């Protein structure tokens, strides 16, 4: 039976420009990207806040895709907005404007059903709020979190205190090195793991990702794509695929399942970047996800010498 997932994070309206084009006031936010990626694996509940200007069709889209939006409150004011652009390096976003609006005073309050979720994803918000959310939970089986440079710079103590209570930590390469004050992702992951998380995932964009479990590192390539249209939300889609898969099988500490979770995260991120906003993820079915998953696994597989000898003998 699939475990339930609770995500707490931002729901936003994004204006984005890339070499492939642009969109204005498109559906965005860390919790939104995560939910649409994870919902093909397990039941997802979203807790966040929007303003009175939030389009009804966006809320309806989430609800129609089976996401529980009972925790998406509407506050007096305007919805969180982010504006940015990407140059030739699709892994680096230039922020043009950030307007927190109602998100600035967001204080998540969980219902009884939310508190009972088995998997919790603390998306990119203030680490003090992330800790407040975790304190409201009834003992989830798996807790994961993400962060960003702003919180690493402004609230490093609160972030480290949170990491002592987290099982899985997601960060991109730059964030991990900044947080750990280390010159490369391997050293950064080792330092971060010493603060608490048993699994550290470092995303390297078009160069793939790596995962540290215990004292071992595992490396994963990206899914090869001829063009990246919009990288916005790729990290949250990655986390959605990763945690969604683990919730679907109910196994959270097995290395082989964690490896498969990395591959599913890679696949969801690859779908995400092929169009603007949620366009290429919102209607994905599990068959398409699994087809790309198996394609990726086939590309990654390297046979051992004894397997080659056995196959030749059979031939």
Query: Residue for token digits 């004050």?
Result: 181
Which residue range is the domain that position 224 belongs to? 5-314
Task: Enter the DSSP assignment of 176.
Answer: H
pLDDT at 229: 94
pLDDT for 303: 80
Quote the pLDDT of residue 302: 82
**If you count DSSP H runs as helices and E runs as strands, how many of each does the chain have, helices first?**
12, 13
At residue 93, the pLDDT reads: 83
Q: Rounded CA gap, 158 and 283, in Å?
A: 37
E strand or H helix that includes residue 296: helix 286-300
pTM of the predicted protein model:
0.95
Provide the number of structural domains found in the chain: 1
CA–CA–CA angle 171, 177, 180 (5° rounding): 95
State the CATH number of the domain containing residue 15: 3.40.1190.20
What pLDDT, on a 0 to 100 scale, did the predictor assign at position 1? 47
Residues in the chain with pLDDT values less than 70: 1-2, 314-315
Mean pLDDT of the chain: 94
């Amino acid at each position: 039976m699939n475990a339930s997932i609770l995500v707490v994070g931002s729901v936003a309206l994004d204006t984005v420009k890339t070499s492939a084009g642009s969109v204005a006031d498109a559906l965005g936010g860390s919790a939104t990207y995560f939910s649409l990626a994870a919902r093909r694996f397990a039941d997802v509940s979203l807790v966040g806040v929007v303003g009175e200007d939030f389009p009804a069709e966006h809320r309806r889209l989430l609800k129609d895709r089976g996401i529980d939006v009972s925790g998406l409150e509407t506050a007096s004011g305007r919805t969180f907005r982010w504006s940015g652009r990407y140059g030739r390096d699709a892994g680096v976003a230039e922020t043009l404007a950030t307007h927190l609006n109602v998100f600035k005073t967001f204080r998540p309050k969980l219902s009884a059903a939310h508190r009972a979720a088995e998997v919790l994803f603390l998306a990119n918000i203030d680490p003090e709020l992330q800790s407040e959310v975790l304190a409201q939970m009834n003992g989830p089986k798996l807790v994961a979190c993400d962060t960003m440079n702003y919180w690493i710079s402004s609230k490093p103590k609160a972030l480290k205190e949170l990491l002592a209570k987290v099982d899985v930590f997601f960060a991109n390469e730059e964030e991990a090195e900044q947080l750990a004050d280390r010159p490369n992702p391997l050293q950064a992951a080792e330092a971060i793991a010493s603060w608490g998380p048993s699994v550290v995932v470092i995303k390297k964009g078009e160069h793939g990702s790596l995962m540290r479990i215990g004292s071992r590192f595992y490396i994963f390539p990206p899914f090869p794509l001829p063009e990246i249209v919009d990288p916005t939300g790729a990290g949250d889609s990655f986390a959605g695929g990763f945690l969604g898969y683990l919730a679907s099988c109910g196994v959270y500490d097995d290395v082989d399942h964690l490896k498969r979770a990395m591959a599913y995260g890679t696949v969801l991120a690859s779908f995400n970047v092929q169009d603007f906003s949620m366009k290429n993820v919102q209607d994905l079915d599990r068959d398409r996800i699994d087809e790309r998953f198996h394609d990726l696994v086939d590309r990654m597989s390297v046979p051992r010498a004894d397997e080659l000898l056995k196959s030749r003998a059979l031939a």
